[in-house]
Amino acid sequence: MDFLTLFAIYVVVVLICIVLVCKYSGQQQTPFNALLNNIGKVVGPFTPKWLQTFSQRTLHKLFHQRNNMFIYLHVLLEGAVYAEFTYEVFGFCREMDTTLSSLSVPYVLLAIKTFFFYLCIKRDPGTVTKKKVSGQLHIYPYDGRLFQPGVSCPTCQLVKPARSKHCRVCNRCVQRFDHHCVWVNNCIGAQNTRYFLLYLFSVCAMAGDIALLTGDMLLHAVLRSGLLTASYIDDYGQQQPAGPLFVVQHLFLTFPRIVFMLGFLIFVFFLLAGYALFHSYLALVNQTANEWYKSRGYVCQHCHPTAPADLPTDHTKRYYYSRGLLPNLGEIFFPPLPVQKKHN
């Protein structure tokens, strides 16, 4: 069971890294930055200058400039999963008399996901420009807390509309800015949030469906082999019934690529499902990820009567732009366009 132990350690380490990234996202000083700085100080004197320069430029290009690297990585991982599913799982499922309509669902979902993925990449998120800024200023009122009137972007040299933010990666101000997504190499804003949500749900559905088909195949393989009623001789010469751990180990040895793919899909499904639910919540309350992050210290006095007196406690201001469930969803899927001034 050494392999299972190592795999469990791997999953725990990945989960801890994800938690740390979520916890410290958007903060300038993080334990990760401190760790990198300390490592740099230790290995710096022994590292050639050209390698230091190359590493700094590579990291800067990956995370601080627009780059297609994560799009290529996304396509590579997706291609590996579908190649394994088509090459091995599809054939096993056909032997188990799984219908072609059920096996075709992952490919249909792939086409749907690719369509929304393309729109997330190519669709303008709502860039604030000189031509549009006068109309964009009238889309949302300023809440007087997160967004103040008359504030100009020092980079774009334009007055910032309410709910907009300057993206340092794309080097532009974006209307109703949510976040910059490296996986689509684009900002998520007013004009492409709907595609991003549909993209997330289609990826979750795709991963979940392939995981169910793969899990069903492995279950049938175990039932046909009779492992559940089998036994084995342990190191002490005693006969022991084959338990769940023995079955899992057998599956790892018999179908290593399929089992690893299944673990990867389950991990991706729960990770993206949580992320999709979080963005669904934001859509229901008409709040962006940027606004949620900035207002995390803002509490509701009705919900938290024991909150410290020095914290702002106006619930209506925290959800200033919420207009109700259906209007909020309507704003996501039918975003308001810049107000056009009438010329006499």
In angstroms, what CA-CA distances link 60 with 14, 34, 54, 216, 295? 23, 17, 10, 44, 28
Contact 106, 199 (CB under 8 A): no
Handedness of CA 243, 247, 252, 254 (dihedral sign): positive
Question: Residue 232, SS3?
Answer: strand
**Which of 126-154 are b and which e, b meaning 16 or more Cβ less than 10 Å from the residue's Cβ?**
bbbeeebbeebbebbebbeebbeeeeebe
Contact 120, 198 (CB under 8 A): no
Match 């969803």 to its residue by tokens: 329
Q: Which residues pair with 166 in a beta bridge?
A: 173
Residue (of 89, 175, 189) closest to 129 by Cα position: 175
- How many alpha carbons fall within 13 Å on the CB side of residue 164? 30
Q: Look at phi and psi of residue 164 and say left if phi exceeds 0, alpha if psi is from -120 to 50, else beta.
A: beta
- Token duo for residue 205: 């559905």
In angstroms, the CA 325 to CA 194 distance is 15
Q: Which residues pair with 159 in a beta bridge?
A: 152
Catalytic position from the list 120, 167, 181, 187: 181
Contacts of 167 (CB under 8 A, 6+ apart): 173, 174, 177, 180, 187
- How wide is the angle at C-alpha 128 spanned by C-alphas 141 and 131, nearest 5°? 105
Q: What are phi and psi of 186, to 5 degrees?
A: -160, 160
Q: Is 22 a catalytic residue?
A: no
Q: Which residues are catalytic?
A: 181
